[in-house]
Structure 1
Amino acid sequence: MRSFLHGVALLVVALVVCVQYVGAVHPVEVRGQDFVDSVTGKRVMLIGVDYQPGGQAGYKPTSGQDPLSNGTVCLRDAALLQGLGVNVIRVYNVDPTINHDECASIFNAVGIYMVIDVNSPFGGESINRANPVESYHVGYLNRIFGVVENFKNYPNLMAFFAANEVINDVGTAKKPPPYIRAVQRDLKNYIAKHSKRTIPVGYSAADVREVLEDSWAYLQCAIDGDENDQSRSDFFGLNSYSWCGEDATYQTAGYDVLVNMFKNSTIPVFFSEYGCNKPEGVARPFNEVQALYGVDMTSLSGGLVYEYSQEESDYGLVYINDNTTVTLKKDFDNLQSQYNKLDIGLVQSTNATATKLTPPECSSALISNSGFSKDFDIPSPPEGAEDLINDGIKSPLNGKLVEVKETNVPMPAYGSTGIQIQNLAIRPLPNDDSNTPNGDTTSPTGSTTAAAASPSATKKGDAGKASIGGFGVAIFAGLVILTML
């Protein structure tokens, strides 16, 4: 009996060693042009979706509501996004004063990373492109540092966006750039002081060709040649809608121009938004997916489709109905079909085209447009900011992984054909996996009637428990407890 119990004990220990992080993805770090799994060394290409249900109206801090505040809703959406095949979501507006543990843990369990914007559309919660000087103050920094505190402990937090489309034409390219770098510096210094790991910080740019290359050049260079310059971007996102319709190609969409533009990037470049919806009302074929993840674009790091939920501007993959049910659009089916064709081996391979890893020294010679800022004298932190950075904000709300008790989605969801999707549930992933396209076809075939769809009216840009070998595996903030089933 003693030897039997000893054997069981060894089995339990072995299981703990093997699955102690079950459902917890490995943190990601930046290495040259790539995002990389910090444990396995595999490249992490973004196969993602922008996630802001309700659009700007979905962010209601006065009532404790944002896209990651309702665990049941996140369970529903995580199940659909896992089946779609994504490995990352971008969330534009979050409230640092509310708890996100349940939603973060659910997305973590299914192998989906989160890229979080630290800003919001409300006054005082972002850099004002028209008046960056006045909007850069200690109250603003207190807010964005709160977002860092709230999300820093989630292993599936991939990165933070310090700003989104602050520079959107030549007229806004003069004053804001130094302030974008100042915010990046402050965020990175705060992270260095108060996080156990480095978290990448970067910028999401508008695809306005007259300022795009200069924006990238300005933000990726190193002041005085210092590679540890904390004000430079760790990555560069691009909101691109140049590929439109069935007949678009790699050349006509200008993807070849973008690849050439960023071929010598010293940081990862990816599409932080993509998915043209012209002509409106017609399902998007998403033919650009094969180009974006193909051999010609391995120098870029993938992208995020705009967007998950149908809003007024008609970019959605799903309708979120008034009764919390979801109906898939044909766009969802088309995107899933395109994802299922990807060569995942190529997607996860180290970027062989990366040739230049040393950032250029910042100088006016890097900037081609006469209207773009050549000022690399980055503003000092506002009064009181140094104390915040050194001592931390008062009473931060620190997130942590919690047990995911439910896997089955409680509300119905319907395919694009109108038939209810049966047995919709998340599938917690083992062995620290991140999600990948898996050949699923979510929409059932046939015909019936789905619940009436009532998308919210917003505009674009506003913006686990598993069982293993007879044991139950409950995940509590990275710890595993084994119980006999």
Structure 2
Amino acid sequence: MVKLVVSSILNLALSLVLGQAWALNPISIKGTKFFDSVTQDQFFIKGVAYQPRSLAAGFTDPLSKPADCKRDFPLMKDLGLNTIRVYQVDPSLKHDDCMKALEDAGIYLILDLMVPKHSIVRNNPEYDINIWNNVRSTIDAFEGYSNTLGFFVGNEVTNDNKTTVASGYVKAMLRDTKNYIASTSSRKIPVGYANNDDPDIRLQIQSYFNCGKDEERIDFFGINLYEWCGASTTYNTSGYAERTKDIASYSIPVFLSEFGCNSVTPRTFPEVKSIFGPDMTDNWSGGVVYEWSQEDNNYGLVQVKPDNTISLMPDYTNLKTTLSLLHPTGVKMSAFKETRPISTCPAITPTWEPSEKLAPTPSSAACDCMMSSLNCVASDQAVATTESLGTLLNTVCGMTSCDDISSNGKTGVYGKYSFCSPAQKLSYMYNAYYTNIGKKAAATCNFNGMAKLQVAAKSSDQGCSSAKDTPNLDSKTGMSNAGDQAKSDSFMVALAVLLGVSVLAI
């Protein structure tokens, strides 16, 4: 207990010295529950999915629009919310203003790390440097905010028993995400997975992401649940009671990462009384209602007008009325002693197929090193036709072995450059054909203008596949992240002395 309190005080002092005046206490995990790391109070997620969008405008980052954030977040506070879930952001944009507006409203962020452009595709899964670099950049952009509650490493990636191999690639990304946060962040930011409610694989998914090595297991679990539809449904008839039984022995926090069936409108949210009442608070940590703004799917709590102002919909008023009556308190962190064993990994079957051997960590350094050893590479024309890279790869892979760039999440066999970008893989294969089959004849490095010759900087790719990336500089402090935990620990000890706290308590 002393260690927890002292650590929280010193983390706060460290953040102030580094220029991060945290307005909200970071949320931590103990066993199956979330807690405020300073007050030690149990934390229940009262959240909303926040991704205002326009199909005509395409993807927009909602946390890069300060005017919209300052318009929306006070309304969320008035509604009684303390968390938003955001599905995609652009890590290159500025987010300080929106994250400060969130803090001012007392609201935390749970952020999905994959975006459609850089994601593991369930039917043809791969895990490459484009995905991983975007994940790293997103972590860098948001790990410095104290109200970043956690990250989702995936959302319904495997959604039936025909796409289970994709979960192995997600778990590889989970491993890398947790290791990266551990090496770059001054605090532990939890990482979770959001699952759909498919009856054929929901229990396997639940077990799979909570089994194995610590660095390969999620810290929390989300379930997108839409089984409770309308006031005529009850806790027992909705399926909520059954889902509660499913997680009764689970060892980490579980919450509804999406809820709010809209087959009956306007929604009156009768399920909220169970989510934040005696039916569920012993086993669940709250939920995220879907969704904030009215879109084509008709789930909105508010309507964004053409002049960018907001009108409240009946769903907003109904949810506010229901939430205002519910104030779960839970237990204090110091008093919570329960521990549960981690899950047993599901057996490999015809309907559950991911290999125990996970895909390797993508490395830009390895791929760049490899590229520097090639004499025949993809031309600018080939690289520019991004949508055709797969077709070009299939063509050359029909002429020579592509084992070095291929991956198989079912067998657990991964080529040494399986994580490189499609353009880099194409270059590697053009060079393999040019060298081994074309005997380095200039005419064999053409492929109808899709390949070109270059002078290689290296005589071979020996040692390239083992080259590793280094963590980025911390986006908030400018300090090197790799190995800085020791510096942070030393600084905290110095602060302890200044504060008159026993170093033995740290």
**Structure 1 length-normalised TM:** 0.70
Aligned equivalent of 1:296:
279
3-state SS, counterpart of residue 200 of structure 2 = helix
1:122-141 superposed matches below 5 A:
122=117, 125-133=118-126, 136-141=127-132
Aligned equivalent of 2:29:
30
Matched, 1:75 2:70: yes
Contact 1:97/1:397 (CA < 8 Å) preserved in 2? no
Once residues 344 and 334 of structure 2 are traced to their aligned partners in structure 1, the CA distance between those partners, rounded to angstroms, is 24
Q: CA distance change for structure 1 residues 337 and 388 in 2, over 3 Å: closer, same or farther?
A: farther
Aligned letter for 1:258?
A: R
3-state SS, counterpart of residue 109 of structure 2 = strand
Contact 1:190/1:389 (CA < 8 Å) preserved in 2? no
Among 136, 142, 148, the residue aligned to 1:157: 148
Contact 1:290/1:342 (CA < 8 Å) preserved in 2? yes
3-state SS, counterpart of residue 300 of structure 1 = coil
Aligned equivalent of 1:107:
102
Once residues 389 and 157 of structure 1 are traced to their aligned partners in structure 2, the CA distance between those partners, rounded to angstroms, is 28
Q: CA distance change for structure 1 residues 56 and 126 in 2, over 3 Å: closer, same or farther?
A: farther
Among 312, 317, 323, the residue aligned to 2:301: 317
Among 301, 309, 330, the residue aligned to 2:314: 330
**Structure 2: gaps (5+ residues):** 1-11, 367-465, 479-506
Aligned letter for 2:259?
A: Y
Aligned equivalent of 2:53:
54
Contact 2:30/2:333 (CA < 8 Å) preserved in 1? no
Matched, 1:345 2:329: yes
Contact 1:141/1:385 (CA < 8 Å) preserved in 2? no
* 1:354 Cα offset (Å): 8.2
Q: Which protein has the larger Cα radius of gyration, Structure 1 or Structure 2?
A: 2
Among 381, 390, 393, the residue aligned to 2:361: 381
**Structure 2 length-normalised TM:** 0.67
Aligned equivalent of 1:453:
none
Q: CA distance change for structure 1 residues 158 and 385 in 2, over 3 Å: closer, same or farther?
A: farther
Aligned letter for 2:292?
A: Y
Q: CA distance change for structure 1 residues 100 and 58 in 2, over 3 Å: closer, same or farther?
A: farther
Contact 1:307/1:317 (CA < 8 Å) preserved in 2? yes
* 1:246 Cα offset (Å): 1.1
Deviation string 1:273-331 (CA, Å, 9 cap, x unpaired) is: 0000013xx21010000001111212111100000000000000000001011000000
Aligned equivalent of 2:161:
170
Matched, 1:184 2:174: yes
* 1:353 Cα offset (Å): 9.7
Contact 2:22/2:145 (CA < 8 Å) preserved in 1? no
Aligned equivalent of 1:286:
269
Q: Which has the higher contact order (CA 8 A, sep 6+)?
A: 1
Aligned letter for 1:45?
A: F
* 1:390 Cα offset (Å): 5.5
Matched, 1:254 2:239: yes
Once residues 385 and 361 of structure 1 are traced to their aligned partners in structure 2, the CA distance between those partners, rounded to angstroms, is 36
Q: CA distance change for structure 1 residues 56 and 176 in 2, over 3 Å: closer, same or farther?
A: farther
Q: CA distance change for structure 1 residues 147 and 399 in 2, over 3 Å: closer, same or farther?
A: farther
Once residues 160 and 186 of structure 2 are traced to their aligned partners in structure 1, the CA distance between those partners, rounded to angstroms, is 38
Q: CA distance change for structure 1 residues 214 and 352 in 2, over 3 Å: closer, same or farther?
A: farther
Aligned letter for 2:189?
A: I
Contact 2:35/2:41 (CA < 8 Å) preserved in 1? yes
3-state SS, counterpart of residue 64 of structure 2 = coil
3-state SS, counterpart of residue 43 of structure 2 = coil
Q: CA distance change for structure 1 residues 332 and 87 in 2, over 3 Å: closer, same or farther?
A: same
Aligned equivalent of 2:378:
none
3-state SS, counterpart of residue 251 of structure 1 = helix
Once residues 353 and 23 of structure 1 are traced to their aligned partners in structure 2, the CA distance between those partners, rounded to angstroms, is 26
Among 219, 243, 262, the residue aligned to 2:228: 243
Deviation string 1:400-439 (CA, Å, 9 cap, x unpaired) is: 9xxxxxxxxxxxxxxxxxxxxxxxxxxxxxxxxxxxxxxx
Aligned letter for 2:30?
A: R
Contact 1:203/1:237 (CA < 8 Å) preserved in 2? yes
Among 181, 194, 209, the residue aligned to 2:199: 209
Aligned equivalent of 1:358:
341
Contact 1:56/1:93 (CA < 8 Å) preserved in 2? no
Once residues 109 and 22 of structure 1 are traced to their aligned partners in structure 2, the CA distance between those partners, rounded to angstroms, is 12
Matched, 1:199 2:194: no
Q: CA distance change for structure 1 residues 109 and 259 in 2, over 3 Å: closer, same or farther?
A: same
Q: CA distance change for structure 1 residues 199 and 58 in 2, over 3 Å: closer, same or farther?
A: farther
Contact 2:22/2:146 (CA < 8 Å) preserved in 1? no
Aligned equivalent of 2:471:
392
3-state SS, counterpart of residue 391 of structure 1 = coil
Once residues 288 and 75 of structure 1 are traced to their aligned partners in structure 2, the CA distance between those partners, rounded to angstroms, is 29
More helix by share: 2
**Structure 1: gaps (5+ residues):** 1-15, 401-485
Q: CA distance change for structure 1 residues 55 and 352 in 2, over 3 Å: closer, same or farther?
A: farther
Once residues 322 and 89 of structure 1 are traced to their aligned partners in structure 2, the CA distance between those partners, rounded to angstroms, is 24
Once residues 67 and 338 of structure 2 are traced to their aligned partners in structure 1, the CA distance between those partners, rounded to angstroms, is 45
Aligned letter for 1:159?
A: G
Q: CA distance change for structure 1 residues 41 and 392 in 2, over 3 Å: closer, same or farther?
A: same
* 1:164 Cα offset (Å): 0.6
1:459-478 superposed matches below 5 A:
none
Aligned equivalent of 2:487:
none
Aligned equivalent of 1:372:
352
Once residues 35 and 297 of structure 1 are traced to their aligned partners in structure 2, the CA distance between those partners, rounded to angstroms, is 15
3-state SS, counterpart of residue 352 of structure 2 = coil
Once residues 37 and 390 of structure 1 are traced to their aligned partners in structure 2, the CA distance between those partners, rounded to angstroms, is 34
Once residues 345 and 260 of structure 2 are traced to their aligned partners in structure 1, the CA distance between those partners, rounded to angstroms, is 33
Instruction: Point out the more displaced range, 354-363 or 76-85.
Output: 354-363
* 1:358 Cα offset (Å): 2.8
Matched, 1:91 2:86: yes
3-state SS, counterpart of residue 71 of structure 2 = helix
Q: CA distance change for structure 1 residues 377 and 86 in 2, over 3 Å: closer, same or farther?
A: same
Aligned equivalent of 1:9:
none
